[in-house]
Chains A and B, each alone.
Chain A
Amino acid sequence: MKNIRRWGPGLLLVSPSIILIAIFVYGLIGWNIKVSLSNWRQAQPTSHYAGLGAYRDLAHDAQFRLTLAHLLIFTIVFALGTLIIGWTLALLLDKGVKGEGFFRAVYLFPMAISFIASGIVWRWLMNPAPGDRTTGLNALFDKIGLHSLSNQWYLNDHSVVFGIRSWGMAAMALPAIWALSGYVMALYLAGFRGVPEELREAARMDGASELRVYRHVVFPHLKPVTLAALIIIGHISIKVFDLMVAIGGKQWFTQTPAVYMWIQIYDSSDYAKGAAIATLLLLLISILVIPYLIYTVRAERRS
């Protein structure tokens, strides 16, 4: 502590960023909460304290509750899809196949494309239009005789399944799964490759079949990777915005809380309500991420 000349320069080097992050992340979060508690519910900014009115409105807002249901379905399908596919791809590549570089590049390339651009293709692929306006996957299914697979995609909400009316969101998860499976594969592949070869060898020497080597040696090592993937996919899912806008615009059937917040601000000029939604999103992500961050930084310090 006493020798500030030793560590002072390091702190000085980081201090511009500390200030920027303090203001623009933490300061603005605080400001946003203040907006959510204000009476700024029209185009003209006001900043009078108005209590929890905006939050109470949200609690009674059926549309908002629908966006939460959307988010839930989307997150579950998105996370399961990317985890299963990513894990499978990593497993397939683990032992090293010829052309691994090619496959990896193909699986990862969707990461380089914006949801706005890929959303355009997926809107075409998942076009629910019937009859002679059919395009995309429905047209493909018709062509190869799998007519029964044709469906309404993101408009699948008519039937109530398990008391939920929002199954169209499961279809909305497809482009997201397409975009991020490669990412999860990359995580898992690093996890697979991180298992020391000696451990596998030792298990083999003990007479374990390759199946058992994976089950008892390799898979247990992947728990931290799965956790990391879940956190990353989970927080991407909670934030998802541009994909919904690209495919459904502002229409209700693809609305997530993030989209709904945008609508509140741009169409209704209800800033307090928008800020309240944003605050709730932050809360949701914090519950997911903060324990993980603490756990990770601690684990790092321990090693």
Chain B
Amino acid sequence: MAEIVINGLTKRYPNGFEAVKDLTLDIGEGELLVLVGPSGCGKTTALRMIAGLEEISDGDLYIGGQRMNDVLEKDRDIAMVFQNYALYPHMTVAQNIAFSLKIARRPRAEIKRRVHETAQLLAIEEMLDRRPKQLSGGQRQRVAMGRAIIRQPQVFLMDEPLSNLDAKLRVQMRGEIDALQKRLAVTTVYVTHDQVEAMTMGDRVAVLRDGKLQQVDTPFQIYERPANLFVASFIGSPPMNLAEAAIKQTKDGLTVSLGEAEIAIPHELAARNSLDAWVGKSVIAGIRPEDIYEVTRKTAKLQAAMQVKIDRVEALGASLLGYFSVDAAAPRAESVSAIPAEEVLSEAPLTGTSGTSFCAIFEPRAMLKIGDTTEVALDLSRLHFFDPETDASLLAEDEPEKKKKPEAKKK
């Protein structure tokens, strides 16, 4: 067990492409850090540099206080779980799990004991004599975990270990890996592009985009206080609604005009975002879908109401997604996370309406149909503001104790 210190890590591929740019991260002892980001953002590359499978072009890597840049992968004492498991096809499960110990020339009795313990831990004892071909996807996944666990390494690295499993199994294995990691308390870097995995498993989450670190914080903080437009739009499903909005000064304080709605901003919110400096200018305002309500149900002082026409509804059972258009410009496309394909498709009916499509999560039994007009309210305390030029959140730097990374977990 050891902490990982990453300082200015950069990967330049021979073709000149920079897949990871100046990555700086501290990963605490026993912590599970999730590396998340869209496809091609450099997650795998970063992980492989830590593993030693990819040469580090620039920057430093320390594990347990020792500089690892020039240490061969086999000497780094790191175990890795591969996306396709990479089980040795000609070896039985037991031999697969024991391979690293055999190479380390551990005594036979010890190997046998540890294989047995590991198999017990993962509930794969009956499969020890089988070949990988004779296992199901979930079982292979367990064997791959076993191969990593048995070594009791300083660090676990996992690259999308669950992406080959079906949805149900993924949820189950997610829990198992999480529990196992907490139990073994081995420092772990876990790569995924699934934000649910990121939010549920990570002690902290690092969001990567185009090789650059966007934000690293606890899942809660990432969700509540996204550092920039990209994180705001990447984390959360459906994503945060974002649109350009003008800040104005009135005699009662500041207002933000979102489309036709003129919304008074609570003092405290304005202060936290230093909005005074933005009077007469445009910002990007954001609100998460769950913070938009139908007025009929709930009213509160801090809620600003606006009339909207529902363009499309999606009944999900537990909730109902309603889409409507707000007459305000959307943020620049390059600032936000690319819209997933299915969202693009669903926007098709909106052609003709100008403005930005917003999504709200309504009560499942709200009787909304396409074409209905309804009044919605925003939970003003949960408005987010971003600088339209730099994309950065306007939220003032937080009190230091909130920023601190969580304590290393105890066994």
Residue ranges of A at the interface with B (Cβ–Cβ < 8 Å): 2-3, 5-6
Contact = CB atoms under 8 A, between A and B. Distances in A.
Nearest to A3: B55
6 contacts: A2-B55, A3-B55, A3-B70, A5-B72, A6-B55, A6-B72
Nearest to A5: B72
B282 to A, nearest CB: 46
Contacts of B72: 5-6
Contacts of B55: 2-3, 6
The 3 A-B pairs of least Cβ separation, nearest first, read A3-B55, A5-B72, A3-B70
A6 B70 CA distance: 10
A174 to B, nearest CB: 47
A5 B55 CA distance: 12
Interface string B52-72: 000100000000000000101
B70 to A, nearest CB: 7
A5 B74 CA distance: 12
B183 to A, nearest CB: 34
Contacts of A6: 55, 72
Interface in B140-198: none
Contacts of B70: 3
Nearest to B14: A1
Contacts, number: 6
B89 to A, nearest CB: 23
A90 to B, nearest CB: 32
Interface in B203-261: none
A5 B70 CA distance: 9
A2 B72 CA distance: 13
A6 B73 CA distance: 9
A6 B55 CA distance: 9
Nearest to A6: B72
B160 to A, nearest CB: 24
A5 B73 CA distance: 11
A204 B70 CA distance: 57
A4 to B, nearest CB: 11
A1 to B, nearest CB: 9
A6 B72 CA distance: 7
Contacts of A2: 55
Nearest to B72: A5
A2 B55 CA distance: 9
B378 to A, nearest CB: 50
B300 to A, nearest CB: 57
Nearest to B73: A6
Contacts of A5: 72
A2 B70 CA distance: 9
B14 to A, nearest CB: 10
Nearest to B55: A3
B398 to A, nearest CB: 41
Contacts of A3: 55, 70
Nearest to A7: B55
A196 B72 CA distance: 42
A3 B49 CA distance: 13
A221 to B, nearest CB: 29
A284 B296 CA distance: 88
Interface string B357-385: 00000000000000000000000000000
Nearest to B56: A3
B56 to A, nearest CB: 9
A3 B55 CA distance: 8
B68 to A, nearest CB: 12
A228 B286 CA distance: 60
B10 to A, nearest CB: 14
A202 B1 CA distance: 55
A130 B71 CA distance: 81
Nearest to B53: A6
A3 B72 CA distance: 9
A3 B70 CA distance: 7
A64 B102 CA distance: 66
A5 to B, nearest CB: 6
A7 to B, nearest CB: 10
A150 to B, nearest CB: 60
B146 to A, nearest CB: 28
